């Protein structure tokens, strides 16, 4: 029976237990936000709940293995005291600080608090070193930071076999308390690390690229090559940081930043290295860099874009010379507390107000969201024209959700070398890879957000496809002898967003894209297009009856905002309008997505040709090509989303179905 666990299940009755009083009465919410999916899960009792989980793992192990009393004692004592430096009320925290306890490195602080009233050196060292095995495995510390554990054996404080058992059980409790799946994934590495500690095999020399790979939970080959090409002076500075410092909350704070940005941050830290410094904490940055988005923890992109812009304008030479230009919006700080450096970014009052406005605008209507894009473009904080902030998350999820619609494209693939232009969330890449794993598969996109998400997905899910950041209007500079090129719902975006010969919504853009694709194809290769269409005949009208009369205001705003072509309507009565069929459908495609997506969808024209016009355009643009397929259909989702909000009639008032919205066209390259 784990006695401490019984106390924790009824804490109010056992607050005379000092360690439990600290855990229960805490007013802080200190927690590693990487361990939660939603910030709402973090409460004043989050640390207490984690301790309960670790002791429950101990209880499970005890029932499985019948642990001896000594092992249970050491593990239980360590677990119940190991997190106390994260807790406590204001008065006790003030007292701990006055005593000089290191509360920023909670394992050290917790061991100091324990040692104040207890006299067990083994428990003190176990508390001080708890979690360091895991930190070594993820690259945050060097293995020699565990040397005090070997000291316990070498000085005869405890037998080697006994300490091995304690460490195996303790680390399982610590890691499985976070995630059973996580423990299973690192179990053998934990065992190997413990053996190295007990054998005094602590002199570990790790390559810089390997260290970054550990810290980022794997790296792309491109990032590995980038690190290997860094200047020797930069590599020496990085080695200094890694050799001297224990890193705290590195992954949680920096995992969404690029390797170049991480390198710059570590070089900034190196400029502040002083004697007796042992730790580097990113805890403050970690706690400020996330926000709650749709009941899920997400990186605060408004802060991140400002940080990215700041780091981009700073050169390596400036950092190495410790001569960084002042920025009115943001600065970085490296503050010393005991033997710990605390890294953070500090925003000006104006920048904080801007971020706060954007956070509120994110939950408001589309006009506020539009203002967000304008403000960040004005200040140069948006990555590119495709940077959708949080709508990017929804957009990529939507792209992935349309997987069944895209499955039909598989049958048109020929040859071995296949390219997906504008792969979005990667659903089509995954689908092709799953069904045709032998293919040499690529994706190309201009959006940095999409590239980052796909690179992360490739590494985490171990995909074989490759991603290229590039311009769809210059395919032949990246590829040759492709067998199949797929444009799935992407040509209308090229048409809408890309300025060609000084003009957006330019059919010359489509022609340029098709010519580049054709030049990149092997003979008998195919271009497969899935995209929006107009309805024929174009002269027919539709009546739209809004079930909520206020939605006519959305139509008025749409007609004013849409830049693709002039869209007009004639008001029939309070809730009914008359429109040309293609004007009606163009509006309804945007109306379907809802208010949140309006600022982005208003920029896109979904239909630009009828199917017949599309075929004629391809034949004119690619005279040696052969169109072997052209079929139109109504995309799933439009009826389900639109019909609860509108009724649609022909101009004589008869109920009609929604027209076809989408087509699939397959073009084959013929031998000249």
Which tens digit of pLDDT belongs to each residue from 245-254? Answer: 999 999 999 9
- Residue 113 pLDDT grade (very low, low, confident, very high; cuts 50, 70, 90): very high
- Residue 586 pLDDT grade (very low, low, confident, very high; cuts 50, 70, 90): very high
Mean pLDDT of the chain: 90
Residue with tokens 């874009």: 305
If asked whether residues 106 and 199 sit together in one domain, one would say yes
Tell me which of 174, 204, 234 is where a domain ends: 204
What's the number of CA atoms in the CB half-sphere (13 Å) around residue 266?
A: 29
Q: How far apart are CA 333 and CA 438, in angstroms?
A: 50
Tell me which of 382, 408, 437 is where a domain ends: 382
Assign residue 426 a region (left: φ > 0; alpha: ψ between -120 and 50; beta: otherwise): left
Assign residue 57 a region (left: φ > 0; alpha: ψ between -120 and 50; beta: otherwise): alpha
Identify how many contiguous H helices and E strands the chain contains and give both numbers. Answer: 32, 17
If asked whether residues 232 and 166 sit together in one domain, one would say no
If asked whether residues 83 and 176 sit together in one domain, one would say yes
Which of 139, 124, 84, 79 minimizes the C-alpha distance to 106? 84
DSSP 3-state percent helix, strand, coil across the chain (nearest 5): 55, 15, 30
Q: Is 333 in a helix, a strand, or coil?
A: strand
pLDDT, average across residues 14-18: 83
The tens digit of pLDDT for each residue in 55-109 reads: 999 999 999 988 999 999 999 999 999 999 988 888 888 999 999 898 888 899 9
Q: What is the pLDDT of residue 395?
A: 56
If asked whether residues 25 and 114 sit together in one domain, one would say yes
Q: Is 500 in a helix, a strand, or coil?
A: strand
If asked whether residues 245 and 119 sit together in one domain, one would say no
Q: What's the token pair of residue 72?
A: 């249970």
Q: What is the pLDDT of residue 218?
A: 87
Cis bond before residue 177 (omega within 30° of 0): no
Tell me which of 356, 382, 408 is where a domain ends: 382
If asked whether residues 213 and 187 sit together in one domain, one would say no
If asked whether residues 187 and 52 sit together in one domain, one would say yes
If asked whether residues 215 and 178 sit together in one domain, one would say no
Q: Alpha helix locations (H) across 472-572? A: 491-497, 507-520, 552-561
Give the Å distances, CA to CA, from 584 to 290, 366, 538, 540, 542.
40, 21, 11, 11, 7
How many domains in the chain?
2
Domain that holds residue 270: 207-382
Q: How far apart are CA 126 and CA 132, in angstroms?
A: 10
pLDDT, average across residues 138-160: 93
pLDDT, average across residues 232-244: 94
Is the pLDDT higher at 617 or at 3? 617
* Contact status, residue 227 vs residue 170, Cβ threshold 8 Å: no
């Amino acid at each position: 029976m784990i006695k401490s666990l019984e106390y924790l299940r009824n804490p109010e009755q056992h607050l005379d237990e000092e360690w439990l009083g600290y855990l229960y009465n805490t007013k802080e919410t200190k927690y590693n936000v990487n361990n939660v999916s939603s910030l709402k899960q973090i409460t004043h009792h989050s640390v207490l709940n984690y301790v309960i989980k670790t002791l429950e793992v101990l209880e499970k192990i005890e029932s499985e293995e019948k642990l001896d009393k000594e092992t249970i004692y050491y593990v239980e004592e360590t677990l119940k005291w190991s997190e106390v430096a994260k807790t406590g009320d204001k008065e006790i925290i003030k007292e701990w600080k006055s005593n000089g306890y290191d509360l920023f490195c909670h394992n050290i602080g917790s061991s100091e608090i324990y040692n104040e009233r207890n006299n067990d050196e083994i428990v003190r060292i176990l508390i001080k070193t708890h979690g360091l095995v895991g930190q070594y495995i993820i690259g945050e510390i060097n293995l020699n930071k565990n040397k005090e554990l070997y000291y316990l054996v070498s000085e005869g404080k405890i037998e080697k076999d006994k300490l091995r058992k304690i460490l195996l059980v303790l680390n399982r409790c610590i890691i499985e308390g976070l995630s059973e799946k996580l423990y299973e994934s690192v179990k053998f590495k934990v065992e190997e690390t413990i053996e190295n500690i007990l054998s005094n095999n602590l002199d570990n020399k790790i390559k810089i690229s390997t260290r970054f790979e550990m810290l980022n939970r794997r790296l792309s080959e491109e990032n590995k090559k980038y690190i290997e090409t860094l200047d020797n002076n930069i590599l020496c500075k990085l080695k200094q940081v890694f050799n001297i410092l224990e890193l705290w909350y590195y992954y949680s704070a920096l995992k969404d930043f690029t390797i170049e940005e991480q390198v710059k941050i570590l070089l900034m830290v190196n400029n502040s290295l002083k004697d007796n410094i042992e730790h580097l904490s990113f805890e403050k940055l970690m706690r400020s860099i996330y926000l709650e988005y749709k009941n899920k923890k997400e990186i605060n992109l408004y802060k991140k874009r400002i940080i990215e812009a700041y780091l981009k304008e700073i050169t390596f030479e400036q950092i190495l010379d410790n001569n960084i230009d002042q920025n009115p919006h943001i600065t970085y700080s490296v503050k010393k507390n005991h033997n710990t450096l605390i890294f953070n970014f500090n925003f000006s009052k104006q920048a904080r107000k801007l971020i706060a406005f954007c956070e509120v605008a994110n939950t408001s209507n589309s006009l506020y969201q539009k203002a967000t894009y304008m403000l960040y473009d004005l200040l140069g904080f948006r990555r590119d024209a495709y940077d959708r902030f949080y709508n990017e998350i929804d957009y990529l999820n939507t792209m992935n959700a349309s997987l069944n619609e895209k499955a039909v494209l598989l049958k048109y693939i020929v040859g071995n070398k296949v390219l997906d232009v504008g792969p979005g969330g990667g659903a089509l890449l995954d689908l092709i890879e799953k069904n045709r794993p032998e293919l040499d598969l690529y994706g190309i996109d201009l959006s940095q957000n999409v590239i980052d998400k796909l690179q992360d997905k490739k590494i985490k899910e171990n995909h074989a496809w490759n991603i290229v950041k590039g311009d769809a209007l210059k395919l032949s500079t990246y590829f040759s002898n492709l067998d199949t090129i797929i444009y799935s719902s992407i040509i209308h975006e090229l048409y809408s967003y890309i300025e060609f010969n000084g003009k957006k919504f330019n059919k010359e853009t489509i022609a340029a894209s098709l010519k580049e694709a054709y030049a990149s194809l092997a003979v008998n290769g195919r271009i497969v297009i899935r995209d929006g269409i107009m309805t024929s005949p174009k002269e027919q009208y539709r009546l739209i009856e809004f079930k909520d009369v206020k939605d006519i205001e959305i139509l008025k705003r749409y007609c004013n905002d849409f830049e693709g072509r002039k869209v007009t309507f004639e008001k029939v009565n309070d809730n009914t309008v008359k429109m040309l069929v293609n004007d009606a459908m163009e509006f309804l495609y945007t109306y379907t997505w809802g208010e949140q997506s309006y600022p982005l969808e208003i920029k896109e024209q979904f239909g630009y040709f009828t199917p017949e016009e599309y075929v004629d355009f391809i034949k004119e643009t690619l005279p040696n090509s052969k169109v072997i397929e052209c079929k139109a259909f109504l995309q799933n989702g439009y009826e389900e989303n639109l019909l609860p909000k509108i009724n649609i009639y022909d101009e004589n008032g008869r109920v009609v179905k929604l027209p076809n919205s989408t087509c699939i066209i397959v073009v084959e390259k013929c031998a000249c």
